A and B are shown apart, each in its own frame.
Chain A
Amino acid sequence: MAGLDIFLQNIANGVLMGGVYALIGIGLTLVFGVMRTINFAHGDFVVLGMYSAVLFNALLGWDPYLSLLLAMPIGFFAGVIVERFILSRVIDAPPESALLATLGISLIIGNAILLTFGGEPRSVQVPYASSTFSVAGVNISMVLLLAGIATVIMIAALYALLNRTEVGRAIRGTAENRLGAELVGIDTRRIHSIVFGLGVMLAVMAGVTLIPLLFATPTNTGAVFTLKAFVVTVLGGLGNVGAAIAGGILLGVVEVLGASYFMSEYREAYGLIAFLLILLFRPEGLFGRTVKRV
């Protein structure tokens, strides 16, 4: 029975952690699906969210979840501005141009944070940081549970936005066929800005929910999150929001199970190995439409 308990515990942790990964991955996959751009700055926006929580906590003494009220709109508008002034100018250039532009944005964000906050790891102390409660012998950490709940709410809101509103229809239309969307009167430039804003907002939100759990450092953490977001989206299938959720949870579970049953030092590597295996056997992602190999 003890083995089963540990297994259930691992699954619970993996699923909750995976929820946050899914949140990060959805932002990336949404931007890719609509703009066909891989956003290399995505992880840095997550880190920006973490630091915004640190900042609001230091200045106003706010709890990270309270600072979401300000951080999310700011993230959205930051994303819109970045898209308007940088990405919209390279959208018709060869695809690497947009990729390189986001790489530049990533370097600028990471190093600007480094100049502002210094290099030492930062975090926010919350009173519920170490509180847990148990369900059927499985201990669940309060921080992870809150992150999980926030993820579910956000995904539900996003689902409603994409499927129940006019803007959502326009976003889906632009993702499917940009020219077609323009022909029926959709302002795809506006849609691109909105989508990039949404992507940044999701990244910032993930960062804020993670800060009670992880330390933020300016440059390295960003790259780690960007990589995780890639893994999540490729696991599920690039450009597919539902698949990113499944990919995120899968990554969380694979990491936790790998770390607890094989070698814990390689925790970060399991997701990457899964990613390479997916590339090898099913590059369209576990849930994507089949693409033909050349």
Chain B
Amino acid sequence: MTKHLIGLGVLLAVGIAYPAIFPNNLTIAISVLLFAGWATSWDLLGGWNGQVSLGHASFVGLGAYLVAIGQSQFGLAPWWTMAMAAAVAAVLAYLWGWLTFSLRGPYFSLSTIAVAEILRLVAINEEWLTGGATGVFIATLPEPFGVDLFSRTAQFYMALAFAAVVIATIIVISRARFGYQLRAVREDEDSAMAAGIDPTATKLKAFMLSAALTSIGGGIYGIVLAFIEPHVIFALLLSVQIALTAIIGGRGTIWGPAVGALVLIGAGEIFRTTFAEANMLIYGILILVVVLFVPRGIVGELARRHIRRLYAKRAQG
């Protein structure tokens, strides 16, 4: 655990220095950090608890819309609306999980797509609230302590803080009682129940936490975009991207989703000119490669090799 905390400290130190070293590459760094945070939040449910969600864009959208609407229509500062978004996301996750978690099989994954799609339709059609298909525009933002929230540097630090908080949460959970409960439920619900763990309650808690964290990242994303369109933010593709980032990086590992975000956003940036709008092709090919050849993901595979080497050394010595 201390090793991971040191890793997080190094990440923070590099992150704090980053805008001074690469002042022109902030936008891509922001997307890496946001995706790292979202994928890690997703992994809390999808990797540690084994419930594959393909609807996490709903929480991203919820956060972004609450921040944008709160600012443009009610003059609420983003930190209040982000806190509200986290609460609303947790409530939504509770209701949604209550509906689907008592069922086994593919029902949860299926329902996640439907819920995200319903939210997208609501966002498109309820024009009085969301600006309809054209979206909402954030024209002004408050300036806490004289910091301009529209500047990329401020947004970078917000994204960094978000990713760091999410990763810190995972580090703590991985060694907490709750983390072991999550994994027990993932491996075998019946055995978990026999050990006195309530699988439905565990899944609900994981989902609520995952949803709340994702929606905070969504709020930051709303500020970064400053212009929120329902087609972009509630898209199934965004949900899929979040899930695949975590899976390609390594499900159920602490650093996997963050590594996945770095690899995938980097690959997307490199192939952006080659494939133009079809850049999700990379995700499709990578996920097939991962499923067929590296089912544990990048970090999971590295960890497995590391452990094997350790055992080999011990057996020799």
Contacts and interface: CB of A to CB of B under 8 A. Distances in A.
A binds B: yes
Interface of A: 38, 86, 89-90, 93, 95-97, 99-101, 103-108, 110-112, 114-115, 119, 219, 223, 227, 230-231, 234, 238, 263, 265-266, 268-269, 272-273, 275-276, 279-280, 283, 291, 293-294
A97 B291 contact: yes
Interface residues of B, number: 47
Given A96-B52, A294-B189, A107 B283 contact: yes
Nearest to B289: A104
Given A97-B295, A294-B189, A266 B125 contact: yes
A269 B109 CA distance: 18
Contact of B281 (A86, A112, A230, A294): A112
A294 B203 CA distance: 13
Contact of B103 (A101, A230, A279): A279
Nearest to B292: A89
A97 B55 CA distance: 18
What 10 A-B pairs have minimum CB-CB distances, sorted nearest first? A107-B284, A104-B287, A108-B284, A111-B281, A111-B278, A104-B288, A265-B125, A272-B114, A114-B278, A269-B121
A114 B282 CA distance: 13
B117 A227 contact: yes
B106 A283 contact: no
Contact of A101 (B105, B277, B291): B291
Given A103-B244, A107-B280, A111-B278, 11 more contacts: A90-B291, A100-B244, A104-B291, A111-B280, A111-B284, A219-B237, A223-B237, A276-B111, A276-B114, A279-B110, A283-B103
Contacts of A291: 103
Contacts of B264: none
Nearest to B193: A294
A279 B111 contact: yes
Contacts of A265: 121, 124-125
What does DSSP make chain B's interface, helix, strand, loop or mixed? helix
A109 to B, nearest CB: 8
Contact of A104 (B109, B124, B284): B284
A86 B292 contact: yes
B92 interface: no
Nearest to B103: A283
23 contacts: A90-B292, A93-B295, A96-B50, A100-B287, A100-B291, A107-B284, A107-B287, A110-B280, A114-B277, A115-B281, A223-B237, A227-B113, A227-B114, A230-B114, A268-B117, A269-B118, A269-B121, A269-B122, A272-B118, A276-B115, A279-B99, A279-B100, A279-B103
A268 B121 contact: yes
B140 to A, nearest CB: 30
A229 to B, nearest CB: 10
A105 B278 contact: no
A86 B292 CA distance: 8
A283 B115 CA distance: 16
Contacts, number: 124
Given A38-B109, A104-B284, A273 B291 contact: no
Given A86-B288, A106-B284, A279-B103, A99 B52 contact: yes
Interface string B266-300: 00000000010111110111111011100100000
Nearest to A40: B54
A114 B284 CA distance: 14
Contacts of A93: 291, 295
Interface in B62-115: 99-100, 102-107, 109-111, 113-115
Nearest to B96: A276
B280 A219 contact: yes
A275 B114 contact: yes
B159 interface: no
Interface string B164-175: 000000000000
A231 B114 contact: yes
A258 B68 CA distance: 31
A93 B296 CA distance: 12
B277 A99 contact: no
B223 interface: no
B240 interface: yes
Contacts of B287: 100-101, 103-104, 107
A75 B171 CA distance: 47
Given A263-B125, A269-B121, A100 B285 contact: no
A99 B118 CA distance: 22
B32 interface: no
B280 A293 contact: no
Contacts of A269: 117-118, 121-122
Contacts of A230: 110, 113-114
B92 to A, nearest CB: 13
A269 B283 CA distance: 28
A114 B280 CA distance: 11
A89 B290 CA distance: 12
Contacts of B291: 90, 93, 97, 100-101, 104
Contact of A108 (B54, B102, B107, B288): B288
B199 interface: yes
